Structure 1
Amino acid sequence: MAWSHQEQSLKPRCACSIDNHQAGSVYDELHERYLESDEFPVRPAPPIVAYVEALLERYPDDTDGNIVWASPRVIDEASAPIVYLLMSYATAEEVSDYAASLARKHGLVCYDPQGESLRS
């Protein structure tokens, strides 16, 4: 993890409520299985695609020098039930608040691995 970025991860919401520790364990497992694996790429799940599309309506991929994202394309950081959001440090607070709110609206769980906590 680079110090100049804030990362968040999203996964499908579990029917049960989970605490920060449990969310961290689920995040670690999903990140390792879907984002660190070189075995084969997995298409993002439809809820993740819909979420990323809605997020990009407000904060588009890098255009006109307005850099919000620290990755070339947000959707490239998505695989199956998870998306890893790499945000520019300068806009991280504003964007992460919106991303967490939007995740709830899309029925997703938002977890901040830097803060080791669920976002609400």
Structure 2
Amino acid sequence: MSYDLAVWEGRRPADDRTAGRVFNTLHDRYLDGETAEPPSERITAYVAALLERWCDITRDEEETSPWSVGPLIDSASGPLMYFGMDWSRAGETSAYAAELADSMGLVCFDVQENRLRP
């Protein structure tokens, strides 16, 4: 079981309900569309920063990676990243991912709770 977050470029929505609508629109366009786009520069930088903290699951020889899929960059398209982490490590990992997104001027959305983070 995984715990999922979405991170995207743009203005922080005013509330959780609006954030849910923005996420659905971005997901439909960038992840459910027929053609995936390369991740934007800011999303690519975000992924690189995550991978500085924890290795990609595809390179995890010591089984320390919290990511549920890999390569992690494949979870991104255009200005959106939608990625999962191991449920048992979600507390620490999602807190770091949300703080990192905020520090980089990105929006972080908890898909399970339908709420903005942090």
The alignment's TM-score, normalised by the length of structure 2, stands at 0.92
Question: Which blocks of at least 5 consecutive residues in structure 1 are unaligned?
Answer: none
Q: Distance in 2 between matches of 1:7 and 1:52?
A: 15
Identity across the alignment (%): 39
Question: Which blocks of at least 5 consecutive residues in structure 2 are unaligned?
Answer: none
How big is the shift at 1:40?
Answer: 1.4
Q: Distance in 1 between matches of 2:50 and 2:65?
A: 14
Partner of 1:59: 54
Report the 3-state secondary structure (helix = DSSP H, G, I; strand = E; otherwise coil) of the residue aligned with 2:8. strand
Match of 1:46 among 36, 41, 44: 41
Q: Please list, as runs of the form range in 1=range in 2, the aligned pairs for 1:23-102 lying within 5 A after superposition.
A: 23-37=19-33, 39-62=34-57, 63-64=60-61, 65-102=63-100
The alignment's TM-score, normalised by the length of structure 1, stands at 0.91
Structure 1 outlier segments of 4+, above 3 Å: none
Residues 58-95 of structure 1, C-alpha deviations (whole Å, 9 max, x = no match): 01112122231110211000000100121011111110
Are 2:68 and 2:84, in contact at CA under 8 Å, matched by a contact in 1?
yes
- Counterpart residue identity of residue 5, structure 1: S
How many residue pairs match? The answer is: 115
How big is the shift at 1:57?
Answer: 0.3
Q: Distance in 2 between matches of 1:111 and 1:70?
A: 17
